[in-house]
Structure 1
């Protein structure tokens, strides 16, 4: 039977699939595959069976095939004579069919067996399928039961959760309602006749009341929360009023006891000694703190709430009022005593020292009452400010009437350095309440000092009227030098006395003001003082030129300008000030144009409008007093150098100038073909340039070097004590003298013979330099 004829059953399919899987999962090795190929090759070349014999007939050419196999006999096949090809093929077909039947018989039996077994397997598989269907049905029933059970469990859990939420909601509702229910309980307790601030239940009830107010305020959405809040606040106001009344009562009682003790201690005396004052006013007042300690601690612990913060502020004010009523008379009396006995600087020092002592004691006492809020200096302000006002009211009239710079500068030093810089810095917390008043007094002193300084600069420097003694130069310097020679020791006072008075006043004024005023204020004053001092020195120099000589005038300028520059150098400020001025110079031209009809007064869109016409221009100009001083000093030095140079070598300079003019004229004459004129003569033939004239010139200059120049140097030593300064000033003079000699010597060499040069008698440059060096 062909493979296609096999019954198609589930067992065969599973067997075939199993064989294919087996073939894939267990492949043959190469050696096994080679053996199969060899076996297939051997089978394909198999010989004919032995029972087949091939014989040929002689005459007909037929083939006689003898089949002796039993099977063939049984199948009806007999010997046959094959005459032609058709018979052979027929016979071969029958033989092949017989062989195939014989070969397939055993396979057919095996197939039948397999078919039976496949049917058995199919039956078993059907039973298995039925069993699986039963299991699937059972599993579905179990899943349904599980789902229903889980649903039941979830429902139970939800019910439990809902129950728990309802319980919690009931508890929360009960706890929230407790705040509203407390109104009746707290009201009954607070309005009870037995409820006092000393009761143990007072502050716990007050805390419960605060909690109720906080809760109602944070939940305005509840019904009637506004009504309950008003009622709670009424109860709180009543409780806080009880506390305030109690604190005031205790403080007044303590004040009454202290006042009674003071009256009893002084008896017939008019004042209280400091020891009695400290023991009564401070020590005995502390006894009241123990009675208020618990109450004030409760208030301070709740000061984060607005109501208690206001109550604490009121308690501070009540305390300050009671303390002020006790000590204001004593403080005022002490400051009045200082004012009657002491001058302004000592009054400031004593008054500040006394106030600092009082403030420190008051701060310690206040800390005993209010330990948590004592660090805030504003808490004691109602007490400290009036006490400081007594000192301020005493000092201010004296400060206003003080016109001298020295006491005012001393006051600044006392307040700024001693009091604020040292005392307040060391005890800043307890004396912080004094700082505003001290700064106010210091500001008044600065204002008065600035006004007095401007008045002093105007009267003593800018408008100074010098006397004959002030302008008596160089006699004034000679007297100072003689006095310094006769007296041993430091001659600094003599040197200062030799200064022109406005210079001394300027340096003295700036030295006093430098550390007393703010830098901006001092800069303006210093610029004005230096500018006015420079102008005053220049005016004095002009007067000295008329009284003595121009050289004294120049040396006077140089001396005082150098001193002024040297003295203002330590001041670490800028001496430049910007001045702003309003310029209305353009106003007249605009008005003329408007009157001529060239512009309209009401044309706001053009540059000639009313606003532009009457708007001034701001002009800024910057003046630097230090630079102006340097400029004036440089000009004075240059004028002095040129005057000394002219004094010594003026004949040489005149001679060189004439020679230059003659040479220019000779050059112009030669160009005009005027050889017969006087200009064509040589230089030495000129009347002013003969060897005798030149020799006379040389002698005149030499005499000036030997006589006039030493006098100049003596005056320089008299005015300028510093040798380096004199050397700096003399160096260009020496250079100019040497240069004049060099020019004349060059001219003589070119125009005169050797004999004439000997007649002239020129001094060598080396000898001249040595002679000039000896003058120093």
Structure 2
């Protein structure tokens, strides 16, 4: 299919060459031969007749004179007419060689020129008698020369034609390959466009998917508070109150806070007032369960303590210890529950009312347990100590210990409620206040009253100094606050006694 020359020949060897200028028609063979021999004779100075005759013919041909004015010498050997130019040429060559001297052949052996051999050249130089024969000979020789010259060009033309056909074949194959490449490029371009379109569609779908996913998440987030309502309601309507002790109950309260906060921050939702009311009802229900559980626990502990004291008839010290030990067992749990109510009381009177019920339940239980013991102890002190100052000192020492225990127990169960605990302590100190008030009224010595006022004033001063010296995070008891009424009674009595002296 392919020629080997295309792979071994330099690309520039058969590259297109510049076209030569058109050449002039060369002279005939006879003119060339005549001119050549004429010049040779001139150089050698020969005088033979043949050379002179050829020279004359050459001049005539060159100068354009008619050849009829000059007659060529004839050979003596008779010639017969040949039937063709080739036969004439052969015959003339044989006759010339037979009659031509050897010295002339040797002399002209070095004069051979292309495309004639020495014998052919000598044959041309011999005179020919007949013009027709000469012309036939001339035409045959010119034709042979032309054929000989053209054979190389014909061969080159044939090779060039073959190479041209090969090149055309290569060009055809190249065009086919380029067409295939163009088809592939068009296919690739179509695939690229389809891929780009698919990528754009995929990106658009991905963006839409993200938007819908975000919307779904937002919807789920927005609907989550509303979906929690049913579960919270179901748990709160379950019988019993023991589940308030579970950790999940506190998480439920936190969820309720979040739901209420979310609903209050979106007042434009459809039917939001109904959901707000229902969530508030759930919160009230949950805090009510805490109050119920707290009151039940406090009463159960109080009943248990009273039953033990009544059954075994414990001593006063044992009873005091039992009053605080039993209540401290459940104090951490009760404090965590009451703190849940206290943290939500601001701005909600119903929650403050539930916390107030817890305070009342605790105060009533403690008053019912402690008041009989305090009354009995103060009565014993009054009967055993007639001196007012001594009675006051021992009573204050006893009440300090009792009030401190009650104060610490209160803040072990509640996180706030200062006014509540001081009301309880005032009630516990009431029997002592009554005894001291009656003694102060009947006291006539101003120095005793003065010393009593100094003692009662020193309570508040000493308590404030101790509170400044100690670092504390929890609330501290102001014991002097409990005897302000007694101090005022003593001061009023002292003023009256000073006025009597005046």
The residue that corresponds to 2:359 in the other structure is 316
Q: Distance in 2 between matches of 1:404 and 1:155?
A: 107
Question: Does the aligned pair in 1 maintain the 2:463–2:478 contact within 8 Å?
Answer: no
What are the residue-to-residue correspondences of 1:189-338 with 2, within 5 Å? 189-193=235-239, 196-199=243-246, 201-266=248-313, 273-289=315-331, 293-300=332-339, 303-306=342-345, 311-338=354-381
* C-alpha distance in 1 between matches for 2:381 and 2:467: 24
Quote the offset at 1:369 in angstroms. 3.0
- In 2: Cα distance, 1:360 partner to 1:239 partner: 33
How many residues are treated as equivalent by the alignment? 293
Structure 2 counterpart of 1:178, from 224, 228, 253: 224
Q: Which residue of 2 aligns with 1:456?
A: 501
Please say if 1:441 is aligned against 2:486: yes
Distance 2:288 2:454 in 1: 49
Q: 1:173 to 1:299 in 2, by over 3 A?
A: farther
Question: What does 1:1-20 align with in structure 2 at a 5 Å threshold?
Answer: none
Give the Cα–Cα distance (whole angstroms) in 2 for the partners of residues 161 and 403 of structure 1.
97
Q: Tell me by how many angstroms 1:255 deviates.
A: 0.6
> 1:385 matched to which residue of 2?
426
Q: Which has the higher contact order (CA 8 A, sep 6+)?
A: 2
Structure-2 separation of matches of 1:424 and 1:259: 37
Q: Per-residue displacement from partner, 1:302-335 (whole Å, max 9, x unpaired)?
A: 6332266654444333222211110011111211
Where structure 2 has 5 or more consecutive residues not aligned to the other structure, the ranges are 1-198, 469-473
Q: Does the Cα contact within 8 Å between 1:412 and 1:442 map onto a contact in 2?
A: yes
Distance 2:489 2:339 in 1: 39
- Specify whether residues 390 and 168 from structure 1 end up closer, same or farther in structure 2 by C-alpha distance, changes over 3 A only: farther
What SS does structure 2 have at the residue aligned with 1:192?
coil
Deviation at 1:381, TM superposition (A): 2.6
Structure 1 counterpart of 2:441: 400
Distance change >3 Å, CA 309–CA 156, structure 1 → 2? farther
Judging changes above 3 Å, is the alpha-carbon distance between structure 1 residues 287 and 395 closer, same or farther for their aligned structure 2 residues? same
Alignment counterpart, residue 397 of structure 2, candidates 332, 350, 353: 353
Residue 254 of structure 1 deviates from its aligned partner by 0.8
Q: In the alignment, is the contact (CA less than 8 A) between 2:335 and 2:412 conserved in 1?
A: no
In structure 1, the partner of 2:82 is none
Structure 1 pair 439/220, CA: closer, same or farther in 2 (3 Å)?
same
* 1:529-576 superposed Cα distances (whole Å, 9 cap, x missing partner): xxxxxxxxxxxxxxxxxxxxxxxxxxxxxxxxxxxxxxxxxxxxxxxx
Give TM-score scaled by structure 2 length.
0.52
5+ residue gaps in structure 1? 1-152, 267-271, 458-776
2:382 counterpart of 1:339: yes
Offset, 1:435: 3.2
1:421 equivalenced with 2:468 (yes/no): no
Flag the 1:401–1:445 CA change in 2: closer, same or farther, 3 A.
same
Conserved? CA contact 1:415–1:442, under 8 Å: yes
Alignment of 1:335-734 (within 5 A): 335-342=378-385, 343-370=387-414, 372-373=415-416, 377-417=418-458, 419-423=459-463, 425-426=465-466, 432=477, 434-457=479-502
SS of residue paired to 1:197: helix
Cα pair 2:460 2:479 within 8 Å, conserved: no
> 1:186, 1:205 within 8 Å by CA — same for their partners in 2?
yes
Counterpart Cα distance in 2 of 1:274 and 1:348: 21
Separation in 2 of the partners of 1:179 and 1:445?
A: 63
Q: How many Å separate the matches in 2 of 1:346 and 1:264?
A: 36
Does the CA-based 8 Å contact 2:381-2:395 persist in structure 1?
yes
Distance 1:299 1:171, change over 3 A: farther
Contact kept in structure 1, 2:305 and 2:322, CA below 8 Å = yes
In structure 2, do the counterparts of structure 1 residues 298 and 241 end up closer, same or farther at CA, with 3 Å as the change threshold?
closer
Structure 1: distance between partners of 2:467 and 2:401: 11
CA distance in 2, matches of 1:367, 1:193: 30
Q: Is the 8 A contact 1:356 1:431 kept in 2?
A: no
Distance 1:323 1:206, change over 3 A: same
Preserved contact between residue 355 and residue 388 of structure 1 (Cα < 8 Å): yes
Distance 1:388 1:424, change over 3 A: farther
